[in-house]
């Protein structure tokens, strides 16, 4: 199977399909979107815990954008009683 981002069954579609069934999710990436609407975490009914490992380097603009995103995620997960952890590892790339 070839997955591309031209059709509706793109990478995001398949990630959501995997996440939709998951109880625990680990996301490890130095890159975090600023767009809270990119992925609908509200529709993950089986989700019990999510852990995000990312970077948060000093004196970097990500300290502003990521924090806003994390606060919004916390609000979503808190309202659904989902455990949420953020781990910082500035050696990621």
Over its length of 93 residues, how does the chain's per-residue pLDDT go in tens digits?
666 778 788 888 888 888 889 999 999 998 888 888 878 888 888 999 999 999 988 888 888 888 888 999 999 999 999 999 999 999 987
Question: What pTM was computed for the model?
Answer: 0.81
Whole-Å CA distances, 61 to 36, 40, 64: 17, 24, 6
Taking the chain, what is the end-to-end CA distance rounded to the nearest angstrom? 28
Tell me what pLDDT residue 62 has. Answer: 82
Of 65, 68, 14, 63, the closest CA to residue 39 belongs to: 14
Short-list 52, 49, 63, 50, CA closest to 89 = 52
Return the pLDDT at 1.
62
């Amino acid at each position: 199977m070839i997955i591309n981002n031209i059709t509706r069954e793109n990478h995001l579609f398949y990630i959501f399909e995997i996440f939709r069934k998951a109880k625990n999710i680990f996301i490890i990436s130095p890159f975090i979107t600023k767009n809270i609407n990119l992925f609908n975490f509200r529709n993950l009914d089986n989700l019990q815990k999510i852990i995000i490992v990312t970077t948060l380097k000093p004196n970097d603009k990500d300290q502003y954008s990521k924090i806003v995103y994390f606060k919004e995620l916390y609000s979503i997960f808190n309202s659904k009683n989902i455990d949420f952890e953020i781990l910082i590892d500035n050696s990621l790339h």
